[in-house]
Each structure stands twice: as C-alpha cells, then as structure tokens.
Chains A and B, each alone.
Chain A
Amino acid sequence: MSVTASPAQTAPRPPPQSATIEIEASCRLPLLGLFGGGLLWLFLGTLFALIASLKFHDPHFLANEPYWTYGRIHAAHRTALLYGFGVPAALGVGLWLLCRLGRAVLAGPGVVLIGAIFWNTAVAIGLTAILCGDSTGFESFQMPGYVSAILFVSYLLIALCGVLTFHRRAEGRLYPSQWFVLGSFFWFPWIFSTASMLLLCMPVRGVMQSSIAWWYAHNFSSIFLGFAGLASIFYFIPKLLARPLHSHYLAALAFWTLALFGSWGGIPGGAPLPSWIISMGVVGAVLTAVPLLAVAVNIYQTVRHDLAALDADLTFRFTYVALVFWLIAGAQQIVGVLPNVSALTDYTWFPVAHWELFHYGFFALAMFGAIYYIVPRLLNGNDPPAWSPGLVNAHFWPTFFGILISYLALLVGGVGQGIMLNDLKYSFAQVTRGTLMTLRASTLGDLCIVVGTIFFLLNFALLLSRHCRRCWTETRKERA
C-alpha cells in the first residue's frame, strides 16, 4: 500500500509495508539463533542457581574443586541468566516488535545472526573465566574485561540492525512498545560502556567503583530488561485481546517517568557514599510509583471488559502474570528503599527476593510469553506449528509456583533476618540458623524453576523437530 505524493509535496514516499510473512521470514534465522542460545543459557543459569542453593544445606556439596565453589557458581548463575538469556531474549523480542510494528523486514538478518554467534561465544568465554576465577567481583557485571569488547561489538551489530529496521519503518505512527524497545536498545551501550571503561579499563578510584557498579546493575535490570519486558507486555495484551491499548498518553507518562526516575537508584541505604547519592536513589525509586500506577491503570482499563479471555490462550498467562509480578516487584522496591525499612532489610534476603521476582517472575515470564507467540510464526507464518499444550502447562505451573515459593520465603525470611541482625541478643550464627528454613523453601523454588525450564526446552525441541519433519515431508512431496 503506497501513498501517492501530491505534485506540490516533495516529502519522500514511505516505504511499502511488508507482508507479515516476509517479516517473519527475515527474522527466522537470527531470532531462532538468539532464542535458542538464550534458552540453553537459561537452563544452565537456573541449574547453577539450584546448585548454589543446595550448597547452603550441605556446604560440602561440590566444594572440593575451586570451579564449583559457591562464590563462583553464584556469579556464573547470575551471568548466565542476565547475559546468556536476558540480553539475547530482550534483543530478539525487541527486533521482532520493531519489525512487526514498523511493518518492515528486519534489516541485515545475517549481521544479526553473526552478532548472536559472537555474543554467545563471548558469554561462553566469560562464564568459563568466572568459573576459573577471573570474575570481576561486581554484582551483575562479573565477566572479565577481555570479554567486554566482544560483547559490546556483538551487541552493536544486533542493535544497529534494529535501529535501521526502525528507520525503514513503513508505519509512521509509533506504538508504545516501540518506544520501550528503542529505549532499551539505546540504554545498554551507554551503561555497558561506562561500566566497562570505568570499572575495568581505567578503574575509577575507591567507592566510585561501587557507585558505578550499583548504577549499572540497577539500570541494566530496571531499564534495559524492564523496558524489554514492558514492550512485550504492552504489545501482547492488547493484541491477544483484540482491543486497543487504553491510553497512549498514560503509556507516554509511564515511559518517560520510568526512564527518568527508574534510572536513578540501586544504591543501598547504608553505603559508604556521600548522603546525597543515596538520597537521589531513594527519591528516584519512590517516584517510580508514578509509572507503576500509570502502567497498572492502563493495562487494567484495557483488559477490564475481557478478563475471562485472559485464560483462553495458554501462553497468554505468562504475559499477564509477568505484569502482575512487575507491579509487585516495583512496589517492593519502593518500600525497600525508604531509610527505615532499608536499615532493616539491606544485605538480607529481602533484596534477593526482589531480584528473583523481577528477573524470573517478570522478565523471564514476559519473554516466555513473547517466545511462545513468536517462534511458531517464525517457523511458518502461514500455518504456525502448535506447542504441546501439556508441556506448556508443565512449564508454567512449576515455574509459577517456584517463583512464588522462592519469593515469599526470601521476602519474609529477609525481614526476619534483618530483625534478628538488629537484635543484639542473637549471635550471627543464630541469625544464620534462623534463615535455614527460608533457604530450604528457596531451594525448592529453584528446583521447580529448573523443572519448568526443562519442560520448556523439551517443548521447544519438539516444536522444532515437528516443524523440520513437516518441512522435510513437504519437500519430499514436492519433489515426488
């Protein structure tokens, strides 16, 4: 559908809109590469989390070799989850959204595939380095400096293709998901390059390192991963309900306030930094109440008349549960940042509960919802293969319960640990003993999440094999 230009205008003609089939075909290989690799790292990351969790109950488990000591396994778990799964999933879903919403084919699919291969290679090297003792010591940024360059270049290869796709869009009007995707694509290079330069290449002096490391971790989670997840939620909920999003303006308010205030934060209350830095973090976190409310109102008004339809699609569950978890995690962050509360809960399991809920409960589930929708259509746009419904359920329920058990145990246990730490009649050993129940529940949660992930991988493999078999039989039929 092309727009005819009037003779008086010299405006350039917008490019013709690509058919959905072409879009899916252009995205097929790169996104399968991103998602496939991401899922493998997800499995490894959740497995590492389970192993680390088991070590609390039997410290001698896998303790004889340095490669599996708790500190290294924990760093490896976080890295695999954030960089092995998180970034590729965010990029893959983001690229797909840019293509679909812009109605343009993916620009440079081969470049994206190369970027994905390099990224996965870098993550593999980085994880091996961590297990061999080369971790940096900065939470959420553990891969050593020599991997950073490869990561940065491969990210740029992928993200620039996305920006180019956006530039070539045929649909002039922007939908909120596109803002979120572009926001996240733009944020990562800035924070990653800052962290790499100022922490690894030319390290800054003293506690500045901690300030930057906390800022990086917070921005990576809240903005980069948060925007990617929100983009997916803002797209799929209206789309699968066949209703428009309630308010463009509320979405804009949420986007800009989240970008502005959500990026201030991450510094714990008792940090050895001048008070103003900590106070800015507190202020930023409290002001994220505004985007939280804006998103909640927007989505609620969108789904209000159609609540029954939320359960119609098996995979749709992932998306709206992810939204609910995002809201809960956001509320917990606001409460946890207030000085009186943070004096109690800093350095306990309370912030870990938030990490789990945000990364597993919100981001991973939002990505799963998107992947469940996107992958069949990548494989065959005309007649998408179906996921096995039993395996989808086997993925959802253990994951959901695992996250819930883990989160509640760590939340309550964290508060309890904080109370006991502040009460001087408990020695530290007694405080530790008091958290053992919490750790048991959290291990159970980790086990459920691993089980769910295995079923997801099985389902993915089954889908691919079904598709490949069908393709093969059709090709043979054509030749015959």
Chain B
Amino acid sequence: MSQNDTKKPANHDNSEPGAGFATVPIWLIMVFGVLFYWSQLYLSDHAGGFDKQVYAPFDSLEQVVAMNPKSAGDEFRIMGQDIFNKTCTSCHQPSGLGKEGTAPPLVGSEWVLAPGPERIAHIVLNGLTGPITVKGKEWNLTMVPWKDNYNDKQLAAVLTYIRSTWGNNATPVKPEQVAAARKDIHPGPMTSPELLQIPVQ
C-alpha cells in the first residue's frame, strides 16, 4: 500500500478524518417539524391524558368510564349476564328461547314476568321437575338446583338479567328476596302445583 498509488486509497494511518461544515438541509428541519407536530397530535389522541387507568384501546378516562357499567344496576345485570352465559345458556340458549326437549323459553314467559320473583327464585334454588305450562305449551323436563352453587346476590343478578333482557321488562330482583326463598327449605325439586301455591307480590 504505497503512498504513490493513486488507484488504491492511500495509507492514511496518521491522519484522522475531519468534518465539513455544510448546513443542515432545510427540508430535513421541515420534516422534523412535521413529525414533531404529528407526535403531539398522536399523544393528545392516544396517550389517554397520561392517566394510569387508561389502557389500550381507550383514548381517555371518559371513554373508560363510559364503557363501564354506569350504575350498580348495570353492573348487577352484567354479573347476571356473565353467570347466565356460563351456566344457563347450554339449556335455555343464549337467545333465551329455550329448546324443544331441553328447556322452556324465558322470553315472554309468564313465570319470568310475574310481578314478584318468588316463584322463579324457588325454581333456580331447588330445581324443577314434572309438567309445567309455559306460554300455553306444556313442558315436562327436569332442571337441576343451583342453591349450593351460587349465593343470593348471584342468583338475584341472574334473575334480574332474565327479567330485563330480550324485551322482558320486569322489575329487578333483590338478593333479600332470594334469601327469603332460600329460607323456605324444600328437599328435592319444585313441581308446578307447589309453585303455583307460592304467592307473588
């Protein structure tokens, strides 16, 4: 690697590179400006106000609050929906319409829509067997009891849910009402005649 060879780069072992002083091109400054502006817009849109409770995909705390159940009633209904989805849909179907040979419908059922929930509280607590007339049709199936699986608040939530969904529009059910029904100890499942003897308020 001789110093006189002009084709190959000379041996520059003793010289260090220097830097020229060309100016920064103006378009680069403009790109920087545009990107910086975009970044501020992005942060204002997506940083959730730097709030620790705002996780993706929410953009602000207001959105989180709006998506949350707005009242204790909403929360209660969602608990009921959750339990209904996990437990009841296999027989009564997610649409609440029931299925031939499996379970009677809950939509528009006079039992569900009764003024008070005492009868349906007894059904979910103790189960049901034998013939029962629902919406003019007779059903003769067996339902298992749930009193050992769920507490009063959970059962009240499910009952509230089925009474206020699919167009049903009956009053919510309070845990105390389920507790009162639970006190009425009944070994074995209910039958239709026994249910009809229970007064509904």
CB-defined interface of A274-296 with B at 8 Å, one 1/0 digit per residue? Answer: 11101110110011011001100
Contacts A275-B55, A377-B13; A244 near B18 (Cβ below 8 A) = yes
B14 (CB) vs chain A CBs: closest residue: A20
Identify the stretch in A83-91, A137-145, A232-240 within 8 Å (CB) of chain B at 4 or more residues: A232-240
CB neighbors of B among A254-277 (8 A)? 257, 269-270, 272-276
Chain B residues whose CB sits within 8 angstroms of the CB of A251 once the complex forms: 19
Which residues of chain A (303-322) have a CB below 8 Å from chain B? Answer: 309, 312-313
Q: Is B78 part of the contact surface with A, judged by Cβ < 8 Å?
A: no
- Residue from B19, B35, B58 in contact with A286 in the complex, judged by beta carbons closer than 8 Å: B35
A456 at the interface (CB under 8 A from B): no
- The verdict on B185 contacting chain A, using a C-beta distance below 8 Å, is no
Contacts of B9 in A (CB 8 A): 240-242, 309, 312-313
- A249 contacts B by Cβ under 8 Å: yes
Do A245 and B19 have beta carbons less than 8 Å apart? yes
Please, how many angstroms separate the alpha-carbon atoms of A377 and B14 in the complex?
Answer: 11
B11-50 interface bits toward A, Cβ cutoff 8 Å, 1 = contact, 0 = none: 0111111111111110010011001101100110011111
Contact partner of B31 (CB less than 8 A), chosen from A270, A283, A290, is: A290
- B86, CB-defined interface residue at 8 Å: no
Contacts of A313 in B (CB 8 A): 8-9
Let me know if A164 is at the binding interface, CB within 8 A: no
Contacts of A301 in B (CB 8 A): 22
Contact of A359 with B by CB under 8 A: no
The number of inter-chain residue pairs (CB within 8 angstroms) is: 125
Task: Specify which chain B residues have a CB less than 8 angstroms from the CB of A289 in the assembled complex.
Answer: 31, 35
Q: Check B53 for interface membership: any CB of A closer than 8 A.
A: yes
Nearest residue (CB) in B for A235 is B17
Which of A242, A253, A293 contacts B12, CB < 8 Å? A242
Give Cα A241 to B15, complex, Å.
12
Please judge, given known A-B contacts A253-B24, A282-B42, A290-B35, whether A248 and B48 are in contact too, CB under 8 Å: no
Is A247 a contact of B35 with CB atoms below 8 Å? no
User: Once bound together, how far apart are the Cα atoms of A250 and B28, in whole Å?
Assistant: 10
Contact B21 A276 (CB under 8 A): no
Q: Chain A's nearest CB lies how many Å from the CB of B14?
A: 5
Q: Mark A196-216, 1 if CB is under 8 A from B, else 0.
A: 000000000000000000000
B62 to chain A, nearest CB (A): 14
Contact, CB under 8 Å: A274 / B17? no
Which residue of B13, B20, B35, B51 contacts A276 across the interface (Cβ within 8 Å)? B51
Q: Is A175 an interface residue (CB 8 A)?
A: yes
User: When the two chains form their complex, are residues A175 and B31 in contact, meaning their CB atoms are under 8 A apart?
Assistant: no
Instruction: Determine the chain A residues whose CB is within 8 A of the CB of B52 once the complex forms.
Output: 274
Residues of A within 8 A of B51 (CB): 274, 276
B14 touches A248 (CB 8 A): no
User: Do A286 and B18 form a contact, CB below 8 Å, given A242-B12, A294-B28, A297-B28?
Assistant: no
Q: How far is the CA of A235 from the CA of B8 in the complex (A)?
A: 19
Asked if A250 contacts B24 (CB within 8 A), the reply is yes
Question: CB distance A247 to B23 under 8 Å?
Answer: yes
Interface check A467, CB cutoff 8 A: no
- B152 near A: Cβ within 8 Å? no
Chain B positions within 8 Å of A454 at CB level: none
Q: Shortest CB–CB separation between residue A354 and chain B, in angstroms? A: 20
**Pairwise interchain contact B16-A175, C-beta atoms closer than 8 A:** yes
Determine the distance from Cα of A238 to Cα of B53 in the docked complex, in whole angstroms. 51
Distance, CA A287 to CA B54, complexed state (A): 24
Inter-subunit contact B47/A275 (CB<8 Å): yes
**Which residues does chain A contribute within 8 Å of B28, judged by CB atoms?**
250, 253, 290, 293-294, 297
**B23 neighbours in A (Cβ, 8 Å):** 247, 249
Cα of A103 to Cα of B47 in the assembled complex, Å: 48
A176 CB–B CB distance under 8 Å? yes
| A275 CB contact (under 8 Å) in B13, B25, B32, B46 | B46
B67 at interface by CB-CB < 8 Å: no
A301 CA to B28 CA, complexed, in Å? 14
B10 within 8 Å of A by Cβ?
yes
Residues A248 and B21 in contact, CB atoms below 8 Å apart: yes
Closest to A238 in B: B17
* B102 smallest CB distance to A (angstroms): 28
* Min distance, Cβ B41 to any Cβ of chain A, angstroms: 10
Q: Point out the residue from A176, A247, A276, A287 that lies within 8 Å of B36, measured CB to CB.
A: A287
| Cβ contacts under 8 Å, A272 to chain B | 55
A28 to chain B, nearest CB (A): 15
A274 close to B48 (CB less than 8 A): yes
Q: Does A218 contact B (CB under 8 A)?
A: no
Q: Is A246 an interface residue (CB 8 A)?
A: yes
The yes or no answer to B56 lying at the interface (CB within 8 A) is yes
Considering only residues 171-192 of chain B, those with a C-beta below 8 Å from chain A are none
Q: Does B82 contact A (CB under 8 A)?
A: no
Q: Does A71 contact B (CB under 8 A)?
A: no
Q: How far is the CA of A14 from the CA of B42 in the complex (A)?
A: 50
Minimum C-beta distance from A257 to chain B (A): 8
Cα A278 to Cα B47 in complex, Å, equals 8
Option from A101, A242, A246, A280 in Cβ contact (under 8 Å) with B22:
A246
A175 touches B43 (CB 8 A): no
Chain B residues within an 8 Å CB radius of A108: none
Interface centre among B15, B20, B38 (most CB of A within 10 A): B20
Contacts of B53 in A (CB 8 A): 274
| Contacts known (A274-B53, A275-B58); A249 close to B22, Cβ less than 8 A | yes
Q: Return B37 CB to nearest CB of chain A, in Å.
A: 11
8 pairs of residues in contact across A and B, judged by CB atoms under 8 Å? A240-B12, A247-B20, A253-B28, A274-B51, A283-B43, A287-B35, A290-B28, A294-B24
Further contacts, 5 of them, CB under 8 A, given A274-B52, A275-B55, A290-B35: A239-B16, A242-B9, A257-B32, A278-B56, A283-B42
Q: Which 9 A-B pairs have the closest CB atoms?
A: A238-B17, A248-B19, A247-B22, A276-B47, A283-B39, A275-B48, A245-B19, A279-B47, A239-B17
